[in-house]
Structure 1
Amino acid sequence: MTSAYDRYRAADSELPEGAWTWYLHGAGEDNMGKDGAPELTPVPRPDADHMLVRIDSVGLCFSDVKIMRQGGSHPKLYDRDLSKEPTRLGHEVSLTVIEVGDHLKDRYHAGQRLAVQPDIYQDGKSTAYGYTIPGGLIQYHLMGAEMLETDDGACLLPLPDTMGYAEGSTLEPWGCVMAAYTQRRRLEPKAGGTMWIVGRPGDEREYVFSSGLDAPATIVLTDVPASVAQLVEGTTAARVAIRDGIGTDDYQALVDELTDGAGFDDIVMLDPRSAATAGAVATHIARRGTLNLVGETALDGLVDTDVGRLHYDYTAYLGGRGPDIAASYGEARNRCDLRSQGTTVFVGAGGPMGLMHVQRAIQQPDGPRTIIATEVSDERLTSLEDRLAHLAESNDCELITFNSQTAEESLHDFVMGTTDGRGADDVVVSVPISAVMAEADTLMNPDGMLVFFAGVPNGTLAPLNLSAVYLDNAQYTGTSGLTIHDQQQVVDLANQGALSPGSIVGAVGGMRAAKDGLQALVDGSYSGKVLIFPQIHDLPLMGLDELKETLPEVAAKLGPGDTWNDEAEKAFFNSQLGG
């Protein structure tokens, strides 16, 4: 006998006349839905240039909460009047194609399963799915050029038959985690860009610039040694500007004059000594720009660094002891992944994204051997251990948890004690608080890497030890968003059995529970991801630990640590659609 799950997978049932939909009509939770519930809207039929899709699962994200709170004032909604043109939340989506217009039949077919890559751009402008383009909190909707003809082509990823619906929805957050360990920074001088070389009066060192000095179209020199001035004379730069004797108060005027206020694509500081000056110079790095610090003497203190721009603008802090200025550049010197066999600290490890970072590190074949997961909630740390301890054991990885709120010693002292005073090889921060980011910097060993996964607004400063960048090759990285290639990497790892993406699911619910799911994110009710299944209407939100009481036939199929898997998903659909 064919099961309810198999019938659902076949996707050939008669379409309903109406689709339940959560529209956002303005800022605030009261403007989500109608009278606190989803609305019933007609199911459209596609024309030749569209296809009708069924939304199978939607992962909720704190970004959804931000949109709900801000409404049309959200940066990606461009002051849209949502009372006239509402949007829908939900960008972590797994879907099935139901009906295909004639002009799309060469690419898509009924029954095809796809995941959404929501970080969409049209003509260079962000039109993200679940933001500008209404998202997945609906049972059925049309897709056309807004999704299929973007700056990067179609923003849909085919899913293998072996991947479940919930797993498909987790590809977006998992892709963001993968992106954090791929090289997003520009690590060479920009061709045709503007470079500013800042010297220190009295520095007479003989520098060399073995490669890259011919890349910029404009080079600005400020108080550089004679050796550098001679090097620049031999380049093919179209323009050389000399601005000696200027101070930090003059920098903005220089930026306005020579870059129209955009900032310098590449900045080089030679023999820096003043932390305040280094911080002032760093303010004027262009988006995706570099600051190359070259010297042998430490700065006189920590540098107030824009940690928002590290995350959102991919500003790159590079350096070396010299005398070759070019030695600081390149991927060989500037790593982006966790150190093999090292020690990694995850700050904010108990939330959904933190859990994914920890799981990736555990399951990474050449990853760290010691992982310190920190959180301020014992309940979340217990959940983390329940979910991931079995993976750590099977991957020969030591998993240590630490609650800085209840421990008798500080996190810094704990990390130093665990590493015999060396500090961690890598520190990954999933907490968007500048003070936490600054504390994380103190946990690293001299050549460690600090990853700012959580973003804070541009202009947010944190004191960082930038001396370690050029004296010891410390790395500071941050990423925002993802590409479809990052999601494909997750699919490939899952197919290889090297990653179990569905294990991050923490709670499930039907369509009516979507609003409760968003509140659960605000309250921090679940350590794992909240998954909504739009085709299941009335199921209330429940954590996986509650399934033993509410849906025992589903709970019986959960994996080690009560983790979600394909068998549990089949039992879940059979329990809800079997009637």
Structure 2
Amino acid sequence: MKTKAVRMAGKNQLLFGEVELPKIREDEILVRVVSDSLCMSTYKAVQQGSEHSKVPNNVAQMPVMLGHEFCGEILEVGAKWKGRYQAGQKFAMQPNIDSLAAPGYSYPYCGGNSQYAILPPEAMENNCLLHYEQDAYFYGSLAEPMSCIIGAYHTNFHTVKGEYKHILGTKKGGNLALLASVGPMGLGAIDYALHCENAPKLLVVTDINEERLARAASIYTVEAAQKLGIALHYVNTAKPGMTEYMMQLSGGKGYDDILIFAPVEDVIQQASDIIGVDGCMNFFAGPIDHAFSAKINFYKVHYNRIHICGNSGGNADDMQEALDMAAARRINPASMVTHVGGLDSVVDTILHLPEIPGGKKLEYNTISMPMTAIADFGKLGETDPMFRRLAEICEAHNGLWSREAEEYLLSHAKPI
């Protein structure tokens, strides 16, 4: 069968067109992909080509399908998996199959930026093909970035002085700082911090952009956090004296947990300055520069038992937690999405991803549509009735994407 897909053939070499899919083997599964959210990790892979650890050396001869945050429907099940999966079931994909291979990076016929894909046997063998029950497909796509965030919270750890054991997870009822964290992943981190089992008592969110801070504060309000027993503060660290101010907010104690969302030396320095005794710093941001480094106070590491960690991606359990929390309406990852487009918008969007402001870029594989900011729907709606209705739907959901918006778009947008 044929499918339209976006593939990578090398550094900044992206191809959009039809691909002939082979017939599936008995240990594979054929799926229809409905939605995929575009990730900065894909941009980084495109910048590196075959130098990326998960991109094959022969990518020029055998291009790989891009996209790893995808959700859709199972169409055909190989004989090996017929007792476990059925045609017609919805699925969400956990792409971290292993350290060397992943959908969206490594396979010629498996990626989220394609209308159809063939899942390799290792995806099922490693429990990476997850059953999905919600109505809206985009929540399944956003479960993958949420799983990375959840993985970060689970990666942090603390100790008991004099005892040689680690207590995993962020400190319940502690002081938590999310630095440079009002981008798409930072918004997801705020949502999880407010609604997870180990919720803090103090949550400080920083950035240097007042507009982005204001948007975050309009979605996750100080008042709503207060009702949960959490003191939430948004801090613009572009202003002078903010490190001292954050220490004052912590009562001089510092922070038990810090998650860093930007590979910026000054941000890491600030984390080192405000970390408390037995505090844990998680460097969540993924730099492209292999030699990236920053100054950390190792006197405090030694005498205050400071921990430094990092994580890239989540596992199947993290993703299942994301799916369960979204289904229970405990979190709403829609806050991460600021742009929506069709499959034919993917190439240009990926190549220019760092230049496009806002949060997550969500694409649907059955439609043709430029990558469009939700904030622009109203203006476009002055001449286009589809965008006028989308603007009304999003406005009714506090400016956020929703199940209703997805259903309307898929039934009214131009088919690709």
The TM-score range, normalised by the shorter chain, is 0.7 to 0.9
The answer for the alignment partner of 2:267 in structure 1 is 436
1:395 aligns with 2:216: no
Out of 136, 155, 160, the position equivalent to 1:164 is 136
2:407 maps to amino acid: K
1:410 aligns with 2:241: yes
CA drift of 1:541 comes to 0.8
1:377 aligns with 2:209: yes
Distance 2:183 2:351 in 1: 15
Gaps of 5+ in 1: 1-16, 188-317, 321-326
CA drift of 1:520 comes to 5.0
Out of 48, 54, 58, the position equivalent to 2:32 is 54
Distance 2:71 2:52 in 1: 25
What secondary structure, in the 3-state scheme, does the structure 2 residue paired with 1:476 have?
strand
What secondary structure, in the 3-state scheme, does the structure 2 residue paired with 1:126 have?
coil
The answer for the alignment partner of 1:118 in structure 2 is 95
Number of residues paired by the alignment? 405
The answer for the alignment partner of 1:140 in structure 2 is 116
Distance 1:452 1:359, change over 3 A: same
Distance 1:436 1:145 in 2: 42
| Preserved CA contact (<8 Å) 2:156 2:282 | no
Distance 1:48 1:345, change over 3 A: closer
The answer for the alignment partner of 2:184 in structure 1 is 352
CA drift of 1:163 comes to 4.7
2:323 maps to amino acid: V
| Preserved CA contact (<8 Å) 1:181 1:338 | no
Distance 2:77 2:128 in 1: 17
Distance 1:535 1:118 in 2: 22
TM-score (norm 1): 0.64
Paired residues for 1:72-221 under 5 Å: 72-78=50-56, 80-121=57-98, 126-134=100-108, 135-149=111-125, 153-160=126-133, 162-183=134-155
Distance 2:362 2:164 in 1: 43
Deviations 1:353-404 (A, max 9, x none): 1111111112235512332221122222122123222753653544322222
Distance 2:80 2:247 in 1: 62
Deviations 1:335-364 (A, max 9, x none): 531441x43221111211111111111223
| Preserved CA contact (<8 Å) 1:95 1:113 | yes
The answer for the alignment partner of 2:384 in structure 1 is none
What secondary structure, in the 3-state scheme, does the structure 2 residue paired with 1:368 have?
coil
The answer for the alignment partner of 1:573 in structure 2 is 410
CA drift of 1:462 comes to 3.6
Distance 1:520 1:413 in 2: 37
1:20 aligns with 2:4: yes
Out of 361, 372, 384, the position equivalent to 1:542 is 372
What secondary structure, in the 3-state scheme, does the structure 2 residue paired with 1:437 have?
helix
Distance 1:72 1:365, change over 3 A: closer
Distance 1:458 1:41, change over 3 A: closer
The answer for the alignment partner of 1:311 in structure 2 is none
| Preserved CA contact (<8 Å) 1:387 1:563 | no
| Preserved CA contact (<8 Å) 1:184 1:479 | no
Q: What is the aligned-residue identity percentage?
A: 28
Paired residues for 1:314-329 under 5 Å: 320=161, 327-329=162-164
Deviations 1:437-491 (A, max 9, x none): 1221101233433222124567654443444456444433322222101101112
Distance 1:337 1:497 in 2: 22
TM-score (norm 2): 0.88
CA drift of 1:18 comes to 3.4
Out of 305, 308, 315, the position equivalent to 1:476 is 308
The answer for the alignment partner of 1:446 in structure 2 is 277
| Preserved CA contact (<8 Å) 1:24 1:88 | yes
Q: Find the structure with the greater CA-based Rg.
A: 1
What secondary structure, in the 3-state scheme, does the structure 2 residue paired with 1:346 have?
strand
Distance 1:549 1:18, change over 3 A: farther
The answer for the alignment partner of 1:564 in structure 2 is 401
Distance 1:479 1:418 in 2: 27
Gaps of 5+ in 2: 381-386
CA drift of 1:519 comes to 4.3
Distance 1:509 1:362, change over 3 A: same
The answer for the alignment partner of 2:390 in structure 1 is 554
CA drift of 1:423 comes to 2.7
The answer for the alignment partner of 2:165 in structure 1 is 330
| Preserved CA contact (<8 Å) 1:447 1:468 | no
Distance 1:147 1:412 in 2: 45
Out of 336, 343, 352, the position equivalent to 1:504 is 336
Deviations 1:509-559 (A, max 9, x none): 000111232245311411x211111111x2111122222334232233335
Out of 5, 14, 17, the position equivalent to 1:32 is 14
Distance 1:40 1:347, change over 3 A: same
| Preserved CA contact (<8 Å) 1:388 1:561 | no
Say what the alpha-carbon RMSD is for the aligned residues.
2.7
1:32 maps to amino acid: L
CA drift of 1:164 comes to 1.8
User: Which shifted more, 38-47 or 498-507?
Assistant: 38-47
| Preserved CA contact (<8 Å) 1:505 1:564 | yes
What secondary structure, in the 3-state scheme, does the structure 2 residue paired with 1:32 have?
strand
User: Which shifted more, 538-547 or 432-441?
Assistant: 432-441
CA drift of 1:181 comes to 1.7
Distance 2:155 2:257 in 1: 16
Stretches (4+) displaced over 6 A: none
2:102 maps to amino acid: A
Distance 1:184 1:450 in 2: 7
Distance 2:347 2:389 in 1: 26
| Preserved CA contact (<8 Å) 1:350 1:374 | yes
